């Protein structure tokens, strides 16, 4: 069958949507909490959808060959969000072979959350206190959503499709009113 350009586009879009559908937006779990924590969870869910969708779309439409990568764009963006005092985001490895050595779980929350995500959870969260302020820390699964991921991370080819290869870790202030 000869594929027209339009058909290729439609098939491409369907493939992309199927990939996006794989992104876990449900199954956020946490250890309870009050209304302010619940609002922060909702905000985190929105950011998780936003950043994961952006990374997939950038990878799909703008990444050619093996650079530049959406991960680098994400890190520049997250640096600005942190500098403006909004929130912190880290993209960390779950395979033991990060491209960038510093993209690994560094504290107790990240290490524990990664273990739970590798055991099958889609997300893990915890409220922490720092300088008298509350923060919600959340880690969400990053699976291999597209074959293109493998072109820069060849070892992902051996990971089963739904298994985590990484996690996005968020730290948001809990807005107590």
Interface contacts to ligand HEC, rule CB under 6 A: 55-56, 59, 63, 66-67, 69, 71-72, 75, 91, 93, 98-100, 103, 142, 144-146, 148-149, 151-153, 165-166
Question: Toward ligand HEC, which CB reaches closer, 139 or 174?
Answer: 139
C-alpha–C-alpha distance, residues 23 and 140, integer Å: 10
Q: Degrees (nearest 5) of the Cα angle 153, 79, 155?
A: 10
Question: Toward ligand HEC, which CB reaches closer, 6 or 101?
Answer: 101
Question: Toward ligand HEC, which CB reaches closer, 40 or 110?
Answer: 110
The least distance separating ligand HEC from the CB of residue 72, rounded to whole angstroms, comes to 5
The count of residues in the chain is: 177
Chain-centre distance of CA 1, in angstroms?
A: 38
- 39: preceding bond cis by omega (within 30 degrees): no
The least distance separating ligand HEC from the CB of residue 93, rounded to whole angstroms, comes to 4
């Amino acid at each position: 069958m000869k594929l027209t350009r339009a058909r290729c586009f439609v098939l491409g879009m369907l493939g992309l949507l199927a990939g996006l559908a794989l992104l876990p937006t449900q199954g956020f779990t946490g250890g309870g909490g009050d209304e302010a924590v619940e609002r922060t969870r909702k905000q985190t869910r929105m950011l998780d959808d936003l950043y994961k969708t952006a990374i997939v779309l950038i990878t799909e439409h703008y990444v050619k060959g093996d650079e530049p990568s959406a991960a680098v764009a994400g890190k520049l963006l997250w640096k600005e969000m942190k500098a403006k005092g909004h929130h912190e985001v880290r993209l960390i490895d779950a395979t033991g072979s990060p491209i960038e050595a510093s993209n690994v779980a560094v504290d107790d929350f990240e290490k524990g959350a990664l273990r739970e995500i590798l055991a099958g959870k889609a997300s893990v969260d915890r409220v922490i206190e720092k300088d008298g302020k509350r923060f919600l820390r959340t880690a969400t699964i990053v699976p291999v959503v597209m074959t293109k991921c493998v072109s820069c991370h060849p070892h992902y080819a051996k990971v089963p499709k739904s298994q985590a290869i990484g996690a996005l870790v968020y730290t948001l202030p809990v807005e107590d009113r």
